[in-house]
A = this chain, B = another copy of it.
């Protein structure tokens, strides 16, 4: 059980799809076996019987290969781009609004199921951690790294609130969070993310430079 093979694909371009799929299968296997950090592009290429340059050609860096291997129903870069466009002082509400809207959408069902599998022990924690840190939180971590060195703590605190909201709203189904409109959730929970990302966190070394 890999917990990451989310089923059939569609809309794939014809032609080199066999090679592409072989690389993705090898990547899923390596990520599951040794974790994201220890799985080298070289070892994945070797398992797929192709040259490492071809892996880079198809997928770019290892983080993009991971995203492709997860076979997500939406491109995380689209959401990341929308969040990147928000002004600093609206980051919190923007993140809650966009992320909750995705969870509530038809494609969100698959994301919730994958998350549930990981938490329940049927998934791959290393892939989940890597996806969160190397894909989802990568750009924003750099943006909120003020004072320098606090970016990691800031984004992971924000992620912890969003994870808890996901569990409460979509998995355990605790009211009134389960059926609250995304806009009200954004107003209630947005300020938490805002403080984590850009605020004075009230602990040594966590006051933003102004």
Q: Measuring CB to CB, which residues of chain A are less than 8 angstroms from any residue of chain B?
A: 116-122, 125, 128-129, 132-133, 152-153, 156-157, 159-169, 171-177, 184, 187-189, 191-192, 195-196, 201-203, 206
Shortest distance between the CB of A12 and any CB in chain B (Å): 30
Identical copies of this chain, number: 2
A79 to B91, CA, bound (A): 35
Tell whether, in the assembled complex, residue B172 and residue A129 are in contact, meaning their CB atoms are under 8 Å apart: yes
User: Are B191 and A129 in contact (CB-based, < 8 A)?
Assistant: no
- Give the distance to chain B from A32, nearest Cβ to Cβ, in Å: 16
Of chain B, the residue at the smallest CB distance from A132 is B174
**Pair B203/A188 contact, Cβ less than 8 Å:** yes
Contact (Cβ within 8 A) A168 B176: no
What is the CA–CA distance of A171 and B166 in the complex, to the nearest angstrom?
15
In the complex, chain B residues whose CB is within 8 Å of the CB of A206: 188
**Contact residue among B153, B166, B188 (Cβ-Cβ distance under 8 Å from A176):** B153
Most B CB within 10 A of own CB, among A117, A118, A119, A189: A119
Q: Report how far A53 CA is from B40 CA in the complex, Å.
A: 65
B164 and A167 contacting across the interface, CB-CB below 8 Å: yes
**Contact at A117–B120, with CB atoms within 8 Å?**
yes
Minimum CB distance partner of A171 in chain B: B119
User: In the complex where A116-B120, A120-B119, A172-B128 touch, is A160 in contact with B156 (Cβ < 8 A)?
Assistant: no
